[in-house]
Amino acid sequence: MDISFASAVVILLLVTDPIGNIPLFVSLLRHVKPARRVRVIARECAIALAVLLVFVVFGRTLLDLFGLSERSLNLAGGMILFLIALRMIFRSREGVFGDTPAGEPLIVPLAIPAIAGPAAIATVVLLVSRAPQRLPEWLAAITVAIAVSFVVLIFAERISRWLGERVLEAFERLMGLLLTAIAVEMLLRGIEGFVRHVQGA
C-alpha cells in the first residue's frame, strides 16, 4: 500500500501520541518553574526529532548490518505497537511507560520513549525501507509530527484543565484503538511477507 505524506503524518502523530502524553508531561513538569517548562518541552522534542531522524537516515544501514528484513521489522514493530496500544486502552496507574524518575526530566521518559518510542522508531524505519526514494518526504513528515507534538505539549496544562481527565483518557483510548488496527496491519504484512518468502524458497 502506498502511504501518502498526510497518512505518514497522521501515523506518526498516532505513534508519538501528543494527546496521550499530556498527563505525563503535566505531571513531570509540575515542579519545574513555568519559565523553564517551554525550554524543557522544546529540548525534549528536539531530542526526539534527532533520534527519529537518525533512524530515518541510518535505519536501512542498521537493518542490513544486523541482517534484518522488512518482514521481521514489521512483526517486531507490530508487536511493540500492539502492546503499547493495549496499555493506552487499558491504562494502569503507572501510565503507558511505567514509573517515572523524580526531578527535571532529561531525555527519559519524555523524549524517549514518550515521543520517540520503539513504535515511532519502527514506523520511521519501515517508511524509509518501503520507499527510500521519498526520504525528503519522510523527513518532512517527521518534522511536522514533532512540531504538532511540540505545540500540543506547550499547551498541555491548559488542555488538561479545559478537557478534563476523563476526556483525555477517552482520546487516548481512541488513539490506542487506532494504533491497535495499525499494529495488526503491520503484523499481517509481516506474516504475508514470511509466507511468500517460505513459498518462494
Handedness of CA 193, 199, 200, 201 (dihedral sign): positive
Task: Map out the domains of the chain as residue ranges.
Answer: 5-200
Say which DSSP state 134 is in: G
Question: Does the pTM of the predicted model rise above 0.85?
Answer: no
The predicted structure's pLDDT at residue 92: 63
Euclidean distance between the first and the last CA atom of the chain, given in angstroms as a whole number: 24
pLDDT, tens digit, 9 for 90 and up, residues 107-135: 877 898 889 987 888 889 888 888 889 99
Helix/strand/coil for 108: strand
User: How do residues 32-52 score in pLDDT, each as one tens digit?
Assistant: 888 899 999 999 999 999 999
Handedness of CA 35, 39, 45, 51 (dihedral sign): negative
Q: Give the whole-angstrom CA distance, residue 47 versus residue 153.
A: 15
Read off the pLDDT band of 140 (50, 70, 90).
very high
Which region among 11-20, 132-141, 161-170, 186-195 has the lowest average model confidence (pLDDT)?
161-170
Whether residue 100 is predicted with pLDDT greater than 60 in this model: the reply is no
Report the 10 Å Cβ neighbour count for 137: 15
> How distant is the alpha carbon of residue 106 from its chain centre?
18
Q: What percent of the chain has pLDDT over 90?
A: 30
Q: What is the mean pLDDT of residues 175-193?
A: 83
